[in-house]
A and B are shown apart, each in its own frame.
Chain A
Amino acid sequence: MGYVAVKGGTSAIEESIKRLRYERLKGKQVIDVEVIKHSMRGLIDQIMSEGSLYSRDLAALAIKQAEGNPEEATFLIRAYRSTLPRKYYSKVVETEWMRVERRISAAFKDIPGGQILGATYDYTHRLLDFSLYEEKIEEIKEWVEEFEKSLETDCEEISSQLPKVIDLLRREGFIDQVKRDDSEPEDVTRKSIEFPTTRSERLQILTRGETGALTALGYASIRGYGTLHPTVGELRVGKLPIYIDYPLENSDTDEDSIYIGEIQVTEVESLIPDVKEADNENGNKEIQFSIGYGICYGQNETKAIAMSILDNCLEKSHIDSPVHNEEFVLMHVDCIEATGFISHLKLPHYVTFQSKLDSARKIKKENKRDEKL
């Protein structure tokens, strides 16, 4: 009988996976994917946004499989996303058509259409609610029914289409008029980015970025490593209708497009004051505003605001600061890339370490010889 390879790796992995399954199940409780879908909105929104795949069902499944670990759940969603062929691209979406659920402006008190607080944690007190230990399904049902009844009478007056706050400033000439650009954007998941990037590429990378990474860099920017304090011109949460061209004919008229559903997004337009050399007679400098844009799947308001700050920072690449450097920002905000490379340090590095050790020993030996001489 000859020698055979020790099958250590295979069985170790099998046992480890068993152990992992045990950790998930040892409490002998099963959470239904439907329950996750309807009770973990915050986590689902984060994972859809970072996972770059709009599906509440799959996000809920990923959360169950990953035991609620957002890093793992996002990973599952991204890996699944890789297997999906890209059949259609949607038509351009106008966010003016958003069915608004929440909409605030920090720039103006009175805005046409009004401020709509919607659902927000902003004005809750973060006190643990111990009564949630005792939540009863019958009581919930009753409350929900009553609440929904009250909605029917209240909400009909609110127009579904609200004007954009920044259009007011634009009309007054405080924001540079820009040409409409509907050119086909590059899809960063189909063509890897090369520097310098286009704005559409930057926005794609940022919207897929990890919430914490974007927040940290956005925070660094307003704290002193970048653009001055921005003002949230408008923050909206709502649903956008998505259309694709009628797939069977070469037609791109609006009548032929097909409605395929709606997505919930958070959209932010931030205003950042810029001092501008004016063309007026006395040569005074004028203040104008530039816009920072943030948008992401679901209700992820901090992320969308941070994105709007970073978008504006990256438009001003001449400023010497890490948050204005597109390579620094864009190469490091992706959850999958960052966690993957950090976690790969757990892999064996026997050969590479041996090689470095060989160099170190040689240098030491030579140094000793030199000392003797």
Chain B
Amino acid sequence: MKSYNFAFFDEGSKREIRRATLKAIALPGYQVPFASREMPIARGWGTGGLQLTLSLVGKDDKIKVIDQGADESVNAVNIKKLIKNTTDVEETEFTEEATLIQSRHRIPEIELREDQILVLQVPIPEPLREIEPSEYITKRLHADKEYSGIWLMLFERIMKHGSMATGADHPVLVNNRYVMAPSPIPRFDNHKLNNSKALILLGAGREKKIYAVPPYTEVQSLAFEDYPFEVENMDDKVCRLCGARGVFMDELIDEETKEKYYQCNDVSYCLQRLNNEIAN
């Protein structure tokens, strides 16, 4: 049986995905439908991101893959392995070394640069899905910039819970035009989308959508004047390993003392601090 082409896809398929990507960049926050392919890893496990990565990767690229902050998480390892097996490009865990970063649900703590691309994996690309199950209708709501439904949803939550009570995937407004699902990144990461120097691409394989936040694009998290957007509370948390503050932390339980402690969620960031490779 013949072996696979560079980066798995045939060249025609890659070109097709890149065309959809270019359209997405031209229309910040707009979900571009694309002919999502079946991949050797399961739908819902990062196939949207993977298709973007494989369509973009060249022989000189350096790849970093993260899953919920960790380079060594099983799914990140698995995706990296597939990219490596089909391209033989270099891998890295250091954020600043990577040219192409595929991530599930986190934006790295180290600020990205203009020459880097961040690819985010997206489970549900439609920010209005919770209020409207029909794709036919949500597409029209976006076209009309008719977002009262989502505002109302946030308002009702404030009425019910006293706050917007959103978890990850807090909706954002991109370039003052499209309301966009930032993928389930924590609210803590939302501000990193705003005026990002790096190109941010979002891919949803199962839902067959690609969308983008081009460099230096305004991205605002939806909020009210009297109920401002709030990120997860990390103020009083210190990383037990590197002593970092003000970054997103994992909550862990000490097996012996049964006490709660914290550790940087971005593992490579933590490691670099420990090795004094970045300023403490």
Contact = CB atoms under 8 A, between A and B. Distances in A.
Interface residues of A, number: 55
Contacts of B93: 5
Contacts of A3: 271, 274-275
A297 interface: no
Chain A interface secondary structure, helix, strand, loop or mixed? helix
B9 A82 contact: yes
Interface residue tally on B, bucketed by range: 35 or more
Contact of A350 (B68, B74, B208): B68
B45 interface: yes
B186 interface: yes
Interface in A231-245: none
B45 A347 contact: yes
A78 B38 contact: yes
A373 B188 CA distance: 31
A194 B136 CA distance: 8
B35 A337 contact: no
B149 interface: no
B215 interface: no
A6 B232 contact: no
A352 interface: yes
Given A6-B72, A351-B68, A366-B163, A195 B184 contact: no
B105 to A, nearest CB: 5
Contact of B36 (A192, A194, A360): A192
B250 interface: yes
Contact of A84 (B10, B35, B185, B248): B10
A359 interface: yes
Contacts of B135: 194-195, 327, 331
B240 interface: no
Interface stretch (A8-16, A109-117, A266-274, A283-291): A8-16
B97 interface: no
A208 to B, nearest CB: 10
B167 A79 contact: no
A5 B73 contact: no
Given A13-B77, A79-B39, A351-B69, A363 B165 contact: yes
6 contacts: A5-B71, A82-B9, A192-B208, A327-B133, A340-B43, A352-B184
Interface of A: 2-10, 12-13, 75, 78-79, 81-86, 189-192, 194-196, 327, 331, 336-337, 339-344, 347-352, 354-360, 362-363, 366-367, 370
Given A82-B9, A347-B45, A352-B169, 8 more contacts: A75-B42, A83-B8, A85-B12, A192-B36, A195-B136, A340-B45, A341-B123, A359-B166
